[in-house]
Amino acid sequence: MALITKYFSDFTDAQLQQFSLLEELYTDWNSKINVISRKDLDSLYEKHVLHSLTIATAFDFPAGSNIVDLGTGGGFPGIPLAIFFPEVKFHLVDSIGKKIKVVDAVAEGLGLKNVTTRHGRIEEIKDRKFDFVVSRAVAPLKDLWTWSKPLLKKPNPNNPGNQPGLICLKGGDLHAEISESGCRPRVMEIFEIFQEAYFREKFMLYVPA
């Protein structure tokens, strides 16, 4: 928890309580349904929560925005972002039902009113459009972009600084993956934002719609 307040300072008491509850909730639920490795659970705030909040360092989602978390797994990056942006709506999607069960329970335990979930594949969403798609190490960029494009709202020429797009967190050498995707993402090095060794060779990619 100290790792979060090391980098972010202006949280409300309610947000601080929600962030501090994450460890207890995930430890409890992970003992019933394994969604986080034991090793990673011991570093929950670094490897999952702070990593998710990388997105909040570069994007300030306006109140009322709609964000979809593609392949949310245990709720990352969606749950930490939903705490960070209480006025933004987050829709967390995963094809594995037990993971969505954990996400629902954690969101309820935190009292998050801005989180909805869907058990299913992202391609099955036909009736909604979103301001941003967020994702963390789910699939190659080519696939992420193929899935994201139909879900994104059209760019707003009156607001060029906050255009709809895909924001994904990835690691390793991405040259081949980016080349194969046909995209020209903006690439941000996370280690330049958070100085923990874990974030070396980890990146945030943004592909505008």
Annotated binding site for S-adenosyl-L-methionine: 71, 76, 122-123, 136
User: With contact defined as beta carbons under 8 Å apart, do 42 and 36 qualify?
Assistant: no
Handedness of CA 11, 14, 16, 19 (dihedral sign): negative
Q: Give the pairing of strands 165-171 and 132-136.
A: parallel
Handedness of CA 195, 138, 89, 95 (dihedral sign): negative
Q: Which two tokens stand for residue 144?
A: 């992420």
Q: Which two tokens stand for residue 128?
A: 């909604």
Supply the DSSP string of 28-64, one letter for each residue: HHHHHS--S-HHHHTTHIIIIIIHHHHHHHH--PPTT
Q: Which two tokens stand for residue 75?
A: 């709720």
Residue whose structure tokens are 């994450």:
22
Those residues with Cβ within 8 angstroms of residue 9's Cβ, 6 or more apart along the chain or in another chain: none
Q: Which two tokens stand for residue 190?
A: 């996370």
Please give the distance of CA 13 from its chain centroid, rounded to a whole number.
Answer: 22
Which segments are annotated as binding site? 71, 76, 122-123, 136
